[in-house]
Amino acid sequence: MALSADTARGIAMAKKALSSETWAPTPLLPASTIGRRIGVELWLKHEQCSPIGSFKLRGGLATVEALAGKIGAKGVYVPSAGNYGQAISLAGKRRGIKVTVVAPETVTPSKVEKMEVFGATVIKKGHDFDAAKEWARQEAARVGAAFWEDGVIEEMAYGAATIATEIVEKRMEWDYAVIPIGNGSLMKGMAQVFRSESPRTRIIGLVPTGAPSMAYAVRGKPWDTATPIDSYADGLAVRVPIPKISRELDPLVDDIWMVEESKLLPAVKSLMELEQVMVEPSGASTLVGVAAHRADLAGKRVVAVLTGAHLRMSLLPEVLKVNGLV
């Protein structure tokens, strides 16, 4: 499946926005110890190595590059569980844009501090991400500010696509690409590139059992969006999917694996112990998925994305108490 002309242009723009960044491309490294234990040739794309500890900076830089000229004095409101807000805050600071981030009351404190360091105003509203998003939408309309919703802004997917271009440029044959879904921009951008440049690669999406709505939405199945979410993976904790991107993902994703909540902290511990990498539960979800499907993946070459590094420090005692996943 060839990229559309608009998508190809968007990805080229995103790559240009990243061209002077010293941290990109991020490392693509074999997870040799974990791979040996589970019988898979596992490679990890280390997106936690960006200046904000998350892949979202790619899309943030691309978004501000493309849309900065449309932002007035009231600035832009962005709803975020933390990583998207950090990305727009840093990119906006570079361009002198006023950024207000609306985060759920459960937001990780280190993410709030980062956003404030980057000059953003952070407002905590709502019990979860989707409640914060709805308040941000209404408040932006009330004050006359722009409203940028991750998953709707195409440039966020273009930025995420550059992760896949860095992978396929290695000219390795990939049997599987394992990617957390979240609100969809990461999966959309990466899957489009794999479909175009590495069509034999099977694309697997991950959704936590504590926040399963995206799995239902992508496959067009009914789900009560009023159902509360309860997930360690705050970056993947979507309660109300965006219909447009959910429809777009359906033909791009070969399978969706549900990730057990009880396995997330053990996966965080295994990555710390065996690969010397600290990631947040959202990032560790890829290891949970790979380990759970090791029989299907035996002997295969698998690339998995570590999406972010912001482990909530209050979870650290729990991580230390559990056994590692592998």
Please list, in sequence order, all residues whose beta carbon lies within 8 angstroms of the beta carbon of residue 129, skipping any fewer than 6 positions away: 79, 80, 81, 104, 234, 237, 238, 239
Share of the chain above pLDDT 90, in %: 97
Q: Confidence band (pLDDT; 50, 70, 90) for 1?
A: confident
Question: Average of pLDDT values for 152-173?
Answer: 97
Q: What pLDDT does residue 146 have?
A: 97
3-state secondary structure 101-153: EEECCCCCHHHHHHHHHCCCEEEECCCCHHHHHHHHHHHHHHHCCEECCCCCC
Global pTM exceeds 0.85: yes
Domains of the chain: 5-54+154-321 (3.40.50.1100), 56-147 (3.40.50.1100)
Mean per-residue pLDDT for 53-58? Answer: 97
Residue 189 confidence (pLDDT) above 90? yes
Residue 52: is its pLDDT beyond 90?
A: yes
Contact 60, 88 (CB under 8 A): yes
CB 72 within 8 A of CB 102: no
pLDDT average, residue stretch 35-41: 98
Query: Does residue 83 carry a pLDDT above 90?
Result: yes
- Across residues 95-109, what is the average pLDDT? 95
Report the phi/psi class of residue 125: left, alpha or beta, with left for phi > 0 and alpha for psi in -120 to 50. Answer: beta
Listed residue (135, 129, 226) closest to 183, CA to CA: 129
- Confidence (pLDDT) at 317: 96
Place of tokens 């902290």: 265
pLDDT confidence bin for 192, thresholds 50/70/90: very high
> What does the pLDDT read at residue 153?
95
Task: Go through the chain and tell me how many residues it has.
Answer: 326
pLDDT in tens, 110-137: 899 999 999 999 999 999 999 999 999 9
Q: Tens of pLDDT along 244-303?
A: 999 999 999 999 999 999 999 999 999 999 999 999 999 999 999 999 999 999 999 999
How confident is the model over 90-117, as a mean pLDDT? 95
Please report the DSSP string for 157-225 in residue order: HHHHHHHHHHHHTT----SEEEEE-TTSHHHHHHHHHHHHH-TTSEEEEEEETTS-HHHHHHTT----T
Contacts (Cβ under 8 Å, ≥6 apart) of 189:
11, 59, 156, 157, 158, 159, 160, 161, 162, 163, 164
Q: Is the pLDDT of residue 163 over 90?
A: yes
Confidence of residue 152 (pLDDT cuts 50, 70, 90): very high
